[in-house]
Structure 1
Amino acid sequence: MGLNETGLSLLQFFQGLAVIAAAIAFAIGGFYFIFGGDRGRSKAVGWLVGGAIGLIIVMGAFTLAEMVDQNIKF
């Protein structure tokens, strides 16, 4: 197993953790949105936006790593 495969497997592992963390962030944001009232809605936006941005960053990193692995051979 080479360095590229190790890097991709690590990214896959962290991608799985990021999906779980984003699901938890969405659940917390939804809880604040439903039960928080006016102050909870402002907290919910932070949780929802943070979860979405984190998920986009991790998915983008994995896509970039796959693209580099397919196009550049060492």
Structure 2
Amino acid sequence: MFDVIMNSMMLGAANGMDNLINTGQDILTWVQRAGIISAALGFCVGAFYLIFGGDRGRSKSVGWFIGGAVGLIVLMGAEGIASGIDDNINF
């Protein structure tokens, strides 16, 4: 009887952990979509500075281009980083 109760408690805990992992993956997917939009806006701001920035336009636009690209790379690699951490950590 005690074994049945313990097994049901363990399965309930595992199911809760799976739900938590799925929620985290859904949030990460949503943040990645928002990051793509943010990077596109950053590239647009950089292009605006490049076209209409005058003498200092190029130096201002480079920061926007690099920031958008680096941010996009980090966001798109976040799922790989999270799965690597999940594979290597044991509790």
TM-score of Structure 1 vs Structure 2, range by shorter chain: 0.7 to 0.9
Tell me, yes or no, if structure 1 residue 61 matches structure 2 residue 78.
yes
Unpaired runs of at least 5, structure 1: none
Q: SS at the partner of 1:34?
A: helix
Deviation of 1:67 after TM superposition, in Å, equals 5.4
Structure number with greater Rg is 2
* CA displacement 1:7-54 (0-9 Å, x = unmatched): 100000000110000000000001111111221111100000000011
The structure whose RCO (Cα within 8 Å, separation 6+) is larger is 1
TM-score by length of 2: 0.69
Cα distance in 1, alignment partners of residues 32 and 42 from structure 2: 15
RMSD: 1.9
CA distance in 2, matches of 1:66, 1:43: 36
How many residues of Structure 1 are paired with residues of Structure 2 in the alignment? 72
3-state DSSP of counterpart to 1:2: helix
Q: Structure 1 vs Structure 2: percent identity of aligned residues?
A: 51
For 2:81, the aligned partner's letter is L
